[in-house]
Structure 1
Amino acid sequence: MSFPDITGELSARMPELRGRMIANQPLADLTWFRVGGPAQVLFTPADEGDLAYFLRHLPADIPVMVVGLGSNLIVREGGVPGVVIRLGRGFNEIKVEEGHRLRVGTAVPDVKLARAAADAGIEGLAFYRGIPGGIGGALRMNAGAHGGETKDALVEARGVDRAGNIRVFANADFGFTYRHSGAPADVIFTSALYQGRPGETAAILEEMDRITQAREASQPIREKTGGSTFKNPPGHKAWQLIDAAGCRGLTLGGAQMSPMHCNFLINTGGATAADIEGLGEEVRRRVKAHSGVELEWEIKRIGIPA
């Protein structure tokens, strides 16, 4: 499927734009599942100012979607109408600041934040070693693992809203809860400031190694997967509910609930986005029928069906 090419019209409205726009750009290679259709327009801004300029001049009736590293994302085969924004090199800087703080761009992978903190002798951010994805997604979903969550270390974040205004959000403005942020949905985060504690690099690296070993022993990290598929319901663990409902190893087309960790959907090769999402919905149905608990997706699903 392809969409009408609107890049010429947008370029005419934005003569000072420095970022790159591509019409009907396939998104499958940008996701860990390696499935999905194209973006009507894929825009990669040069920096925060360029992003603000773009949003300020973008017609209000054109929808905007942001994708990060694609680790926690299903793109449907019909593609994504409007503009998909992906932050790149202009948003991957890491700066160590006084008081055991780190300021990072939101295109920085979580694992790189953890490593930079370790190298600087900053404790309290090693948990990011266990989270697939980037800082932008971590802010949006209060990402956490191994006893730590984004809300525990974040001081503030900068972002650009749909009108092109640059805004700053303190930790309290996010309204963080389990795997959720209450920040305005139209804000595209561009950088974040984290607070850590003084620590020893060697000890922090040892902790990161333990996290790595634990992930490799329990999760199918070498597969085409999207990480944890469903949130843990209050008082339950999603994987236990899935297992009890007989869904470990369940397949649909080329999609499978991992036999290794049954809260992980995997593309065994040749799966479609419809296979992956459809299998997830079947698991939700079986879990609800077996335990009465309704699982909530943790993976984000965007676009239109084929």
Structure 2
Amino acid sequence: MSKPSAQIPVIDISPSNPRAATQLLDAAANNGFVFIENNAAAGMPPTKVKTMFDLSTQFFQGPIENKQKCPTQNNRGWVSMQQETLDPGNQKRGDFKEAFNLGEFDGNTPNQPLPEPFAAQVNTVADFSHSCHALCNKILQLFAQALEIPSDWFSSRHDQAKGPSGSIMRLLYYPSVPDTLAPDEDDIRAGAHSDYGTLTLLFQLPGQPGLEIKTPSGAWESVPVDPHGTLLSDPSKPLPILVNIGDLLAYWTNGLLKSTVHRVIFPKDARRGGEDRYSMAYFCHPLDDAELIPVPSKRVEQYEGGIDGVKKGGKTLTAKDHLLERLAATYGKKA
């Protein structure tokens, strides 16, 4: 029996929608997930998204020797099959996925070695990363508007010209698994987790389901790839971009905005080992030294959430402190 589909709103953030800020805040406060219409306001034309998916496919379908040239270091580079365990307390084995993590770019210059085909298309990859960051800043400014705080409260803490951050463009590949390695009933492609940063942009492909979110009741609901359901009649229509709240935005708002736990499963209506699934996630992080303190918003002050910033040993944690702690758990303290 298939799980119920999560009811996630689709919001147009263009100036033609004067209620965009309020709608975003309501969605983030209710379940932490929202779809953004991929129109001109989003700045992510379908051709740009397709080009990145094509590069991702070329990389993951390429020789392993090419991948091994850039092993994971400082959360950048190639993550091999089952190297990660996103839910170490409950998983029997590591995640059934591969990934390639791209850090920030200085203009078009990467801050890490790149394998092919990314090295030959570095300008394209850098442009996509910059476009993702710009979209995140636009969304953060709308959140600031809805919270009635200075418009640059969030975006100034994400200004990559001021210093390093943990922002990552992650290309993901969930391969089908041969029958000899078919997962157990309890195995999943990406373990249950919340995201470590501020916002996540997720780009998906038609016909490749598997993402689920955990509801307040503890039940799991599937996230539709095509919330409009129009791709069959108009395949040229761009898919909306899925946005979810990360831990840091939850900390900054004292839990008003929800950093919702989610996972990726092997679809039950597919064969046991699943089908290939590709996705791309941009994990937007603030500057490393950004402190996890509540925003100066009356609505946040009035919200009885109970996660008023994060302290350890009397010290307010920074964005980098939180990221390193989460990565250590994910990689078994090897990150």
TM-score, normalized by length of structure 1? 0.29
The one of the two structures with greater contact order (alpha-carbon pairs below 8 A, sep at least 6) is 2
TM-score, normalized by length of structure 2? 0.27
Higher helix share: 1
Higher strand share: 1
